[in-house]
């Protein structure tokens, strides 16, 4: 081998050796934490942890270990899987300076959307949140109620009603594509003030199929999955050259998947820029819209400190980001609430009775949030079936992670804390905390809306009254701490509007148990491997409520 080649290969070799040693060291640090055996040397337990059929594996981890589990990751590396509320509180709140979103997530977000909330940490991240949060205040949400009602009526009259060929009798309708369209339209209207879909004729379905932005949104997650093997290289590449340079350089790589990825990024950016410029124009001409983007643009014209305003590029980055963060998640929640109501007829009847007692069809914000059973049913669905079932963090400093109760280590001795080395990957099981008996009591795995007392608090009968880090009703559905979901007040409101409109007109039921919920980010209903939610829909005049 020629000396220049040896010279060139040396840093690469050193890098590989350093990575292998670091991985071994991290694995050693967690070696005493109990966990399942590895499934394979290369992928460890990751296929069972993240695959669509992972529900039973997660249940095994939640039930058979005590809230902290060692998981085997790539090339025998170890990760920690946690659902212990005290450990979780430490990671997300108490010792949050020791943990951050993973570097892959941060650099991928910057490549996709540009610099913004999802791609930054520390001071920059806090700055973005401060600018963004007022758009989700109760007073702004109050103004969004009419927009949400308009979408709900169009969903009912334009999409569901035309499916019911006979006004009497029962009709099976696949509600999955219908509710997914309604979710995109709700987020489009409420976040950007933009209508993607008229939710009416079959023409609009065709329009959606050819709209490049909607197609880019749809292809987004599958393409990221295809690129999974390359993602660990991203943070390194983005550190060596800038993310903007990375984005341009990707175009020259000889891969059709990467070319599709680049097209998606370009389509999202150009559409977002058009929407943002339109919005800036409208706001200048005294537009009175109350969507999220209008609120951010109006803020640019206020006399506030310059660093408390968005620039045009930042608005563009956040336009696509918010559509991405809000569409599939709310679609999952909408599909789930209808499925849950169809599976629980007595809950459906009680809820309809409460809704029918309200005078007006179009309820105000205060009336909607004041319906106790509607609130209880939505909270219980979001607790038991969180659309996003887990999230990851990486330790940025060594840390001693506290536990709510000692676990028995592999060496058979009790451990009341775990030493976390820098660079350890942590998987936070949102579903695990939401179904933890110490938090919710022995019936934690049952759907029981009555556990909610009407003041946003649950009765923790038989539980240890353990507080979690959750930002919404002690559950982790919308995460907790500095990176918690900014849409956590919007989501229940949107669900309440849709349910109050649909339950007045329809009764929902299921005939068979073909529907399977596959875990993912977010969870989806499937029938024979395809996304679907076949539900029997009856118009209410022809059935007893």
Element (H, E) at 171: strand 171-174
Is residue 117 a contact residue for ligand HEM (CB under 6 A)?
yes
Task: Give the list of residues 6+ apart from residue 361 with CB closer than 8 angstroms, or none.
Answer: 501, 504
Minimum distance from residue 203 beta carbon to ligand HEM (Å): 27
Nearer to ligand HEM, 319 or 491 (CB): 491
Which listed range, 38-46, 154-162, 169-177, 483-491, lies at the site for ligand HEM (CB under 6 A)?
Answer: 483-491
Among 86, 91, 191, 403, binds ligand HEM (CB under 6 A): 191
User: Which burial class, exposed, middle or buried, applies to 445 when counting CB atoms under 10 A from its CB (0-12, 13-18, 19+)?
Assistant: middle
In whole angstroms, the minimum distance from the beta carbon of 339 to ligand HEM comes to: 14
Q: Give the residues across from 407 on adjacent strands.
A: 415
Q: Which residues of 340-364 are buried (b: 16+ CB within 10 A; e: fewer)?
A: bbbbbeebbeebbebbeebeeebbe
406-425 burial, b if ≥16 CB within 10 A, otherwise e? Answer: ebeeeeeeebeebebbebbb
Binding mask 308-337 for ligand HEM (x = CB under 6 A): --------------x--xx--xx--x----
8 Å CB contact between 208 and 177: no
**Contact with ligand HEM (CB under 6 A) among 111, 401, 479, 535:** 479
Does residue 338 belong to the site contacting ligand HEM (CB under 6 A)? Answer: no
Cα–Cα separations (whole angstroms), residue 97 to 100, 126, 177, 216:
7, 13, 41, 35
Q: Cα-Cα-Cα-Cα dihedral of 93, 94, 98, 102, to 10°?
A: -20
- Interface region with ligand HEM, contact rule CB under 6 A, candidates 241-249, 258-266, 302-310, 381-389: 381-389
Under the binding rule (CB under 6 A), the answer on residue 433 touching ligand HEM is no
Q: Does 388 bind ligand HEM (CB under 6 A)?
A: yes
298 contributes a contact to ligand HEM by CB under 6 A:
no
* 104 vs 388, beta carbon nearer ligand HEM: 388
Q: Are 33 and 424 in contact (CB under 8 A)?
A: no
Q: CB nearer to ligand HEM: give 112 or 262.
A: 112
Strand partners, 30: none
Query: Cβ 255 to ligand HEM, closest distance in Å?
Result: 27
Are the C-beta atoms of 428 and 391 separated by less than 8 Å? yes
Three-state DSSP state, 525? strand
Of residues 147 and 333, the one with the C-beta less far from ligand HEM: 333
**Residues facing residue 173 across a β-bridge:** 535
Question: Least distance in Å: CB of 208 to ligand HEM?
Answer: 19
Is 485 near ligand HEM (CB under 6 A)?
A: yes
Nearer to ligand HEM, 45 or 434 (CB): 434
Q: Looking at beta carbons only, is 393 or 507 nearer to ligand HEM?
A: 393
Query: For residue 194, which of 299, 332, 287, 132 has the smallest C-alpha distance?
Result: 287
Instruction: Considering the complex, state which of residue 178 and residue 192 has its C-beta at the smaller distance from ligand HEM.
Output: 192
According to the binding rule CB under 6 A, does residue 487 interact with ligand HEM? Answer: yes
Q: Which residue, 92 or 515, is less far from ligand HEM as judged by CB?
A: 92
Separation of CA 535 from chain center: 24
Binding status of residue 347 toward ligand HEM by CB under 6 A: no
Token pair 């966990």: residue: 35
Annotated binding site for heme: 485
Stretch that binds ligand HEM, among 61-69, 174-182, 387-395, 417-425 (CB under 6 A): 387-395
Sequence-distant (6+) residues with CB within 8 A of 398 are 98, 419, 420, 421, 422
**Rule CB under 6 A: is residue 390 a binding residue for ligand HEM?**
no
| CB-based burial, 20-29: b 16+ in 10 Å, e otherwise | eeebeebbeb
Give the list of residues 6+ apart from residue 262 with CB closer than 8 angstroms, or none.
247, 250, 251
Q: 39, 72 in Cβ contact below 8 A? A: yes
Q: How far is the CB of 323 from ligand HEM (least distance, A)?
A: 8
Q: For ligand HEM, which stretch binds (CB under 6 A), given 164-172, 271-279, 364-372, 474-482?
A: 474-482
- The 3-class SS string of 91-144 reads HHHHCHHHEECCHHHHHHHHHHHCCCHHHCCHHHHHHHHHHHHHHHCHHHHHHH
Task: Enter the DSSP assignment of 276.
Answer: H
Q: How many helices (H) and strands (E) does the chain have?
A: 21, 13
Q: Does 151 bind ligand HEM (CB under 6 A)?
A: no
In angstroms, the Cα distances linking 296 to 136, 148, 279 are: 11, 20, 10
Q: Which residue is nearest to ligand HEM (CB)?
A: 487
CB-nearer residue toward ligand HEM: 292 or 347: 292
Task: Give me the torsion for CA of 217, 176, 518, 111, rounded to 10°.
Answer: 10
Stretch that binds ligand HEM, among 76-84, 142-150, 373-381, 383-391 (CB under 6 A): 383-391
Does position 432 bind ligand HEM by CB under 6 A? Answer: no
The least CB distance from residue 477 to ligand HEM, in Å, is 5
Residue 223, class by beta-carbon neighbours within 10 Å (0-12 exposed, 13-18 middle, 19+ buried)?
Answer: middle
Residue (22 or 129) nearer to ligand HEM, CB: 129
Q: Which of 29, 87, 111, 118 binds ligand HEM (CB under 6 A)?
A: 118
**Residue count, binding to ligand HEM (CB under 6 A):** 23
Q: How far is the CB of 56 from ligand HEM (least distance, A)?
A: 22
Binding site residue list:
485
| Residues numbered 20-79 forming contacts with ligand HEM, rule: CB under 6 A | none
Considering only 483, 496, 507, 526, the residue that binds ligand HEM (CB under 6 A) is 483
- Smallest gap from Cβ 247 to ligand HEM, in A, equals 21
Task: Verify binding: residue 490, ligand HEM, rule CB under 6 A.
Answer: yes
> Roughly what angle, to the nearest 10 degrees, separates helices 292-300 and 256-284?
60
Binding site for ligand HEM (CB under 6 A): 117-118, 129, 191, 322, 325-326, 329-330, 333, 386-388, 391, 477-479, 483, 485-487, 490-491
């Amino acid at each position: 081998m020629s000396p220049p080649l040896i010279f060139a290969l040396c840093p690469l070799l050193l890098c590989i050796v350093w990575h292998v040693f670091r991985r071994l060291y991290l694995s050693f640090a967690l070696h005493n934490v109990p966990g399942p055996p590895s499934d394979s040397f290369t992928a460890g337990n990751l296929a069972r942890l993240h695959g669509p059929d992972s529900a039973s594996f997660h249940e095994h981890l939640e039930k058979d270990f005590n809230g902290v589990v060692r998981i085997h990751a790539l090339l025998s590396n170890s990760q920690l899987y946690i659902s212990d509320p005290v450990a979780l509180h430490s990671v997300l709140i108490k010792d949050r300076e020791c943990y951050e979103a993973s570097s892959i997530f941060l650099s991928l977000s910057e490549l996709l959307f540009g610099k913004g909330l999802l791609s930054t940490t520390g001071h920059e991240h806090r700055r973005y949140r401060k600018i963004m949060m007022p758009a989700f205040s109760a007073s702004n949400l109050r103004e969004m109620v009419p927009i949400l009602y308009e979408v709900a009526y169009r969903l009912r009259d334009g999409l569901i009603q035309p499916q019911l060929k006979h006004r009497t009798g029962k009709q099976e309708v696949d509600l999955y594509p219908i509710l997914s369209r309604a979710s995109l339209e709700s987020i489009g209207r409420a976040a950007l003030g933009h209508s993607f879909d008229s939710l009416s004729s079959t023409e609009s379905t065709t329009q959606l199929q050819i709209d490049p932005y909607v197609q880019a949104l749809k292809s987004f997650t599958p393409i990221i999955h295809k690129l999974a093997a390359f993602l660990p290289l991203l943070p390194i590449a983005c550190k060596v050259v800038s993310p903007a340079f990375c984005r341009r350089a990707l175009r020259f790589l000889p891969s059709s998947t990467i070319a599709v990825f680049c097209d998606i990024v370009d389509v999202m950016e150009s559409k977002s820029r058009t929407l943002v410029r339109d919005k800036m124009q409208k706001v200048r001409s005294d537009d009175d819209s109350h969507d999220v983007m209008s609120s951010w643009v109006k803020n640019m014209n206020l006399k506030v400190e310059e660093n408390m305003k968005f620039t045009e590029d930042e608005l563009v980055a956040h336009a696509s980001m918010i559509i991405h963060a809000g569409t599939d998640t709310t679609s999952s929640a909408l599909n789930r609430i209808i499925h849950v109501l169809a599976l629980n007829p007595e809950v459906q009847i009680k809820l309809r009775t409460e809704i029918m007692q309200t005078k007006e069809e179009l309820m105000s914000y205060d009336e909607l949030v004041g319906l106790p059973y509607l609130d209880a049913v939505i909270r219980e669905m979001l607790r038991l079936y969180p659309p996003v079932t887990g999230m990851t963090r990486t330790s940025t400093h060594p840390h001693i992670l506290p536990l709510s109760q000692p676990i028995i280590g592999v060496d058979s001795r009790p451990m009341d804390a775990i030493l976390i080395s820098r660079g350890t990957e942590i998987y936070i099981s949102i579903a695990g905390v939401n179904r933890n008996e110490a938090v919710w009591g022995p019936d934690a795995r049952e759907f029981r809306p009555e556990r909610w007392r009407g003041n946003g608090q649950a009765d923790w009968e038989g539980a240890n009254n353990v507080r979690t880090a959750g930002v919404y009703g002690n559950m982790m559905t919308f995460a907790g701490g500095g990176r918690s979901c900014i849409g956590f007040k919007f989501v229940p409101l949107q669900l309440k509007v849709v349910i109050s409109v649909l339950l007045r007109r329809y009764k929902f039921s299921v005939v068979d148990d073909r529907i399977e919920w596959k875990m993912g980010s977010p969870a989806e209903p499937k029938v024979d491997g395809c996304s679907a939610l076949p539900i029997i829909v009856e118009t209410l005049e022809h059935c007893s409520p």
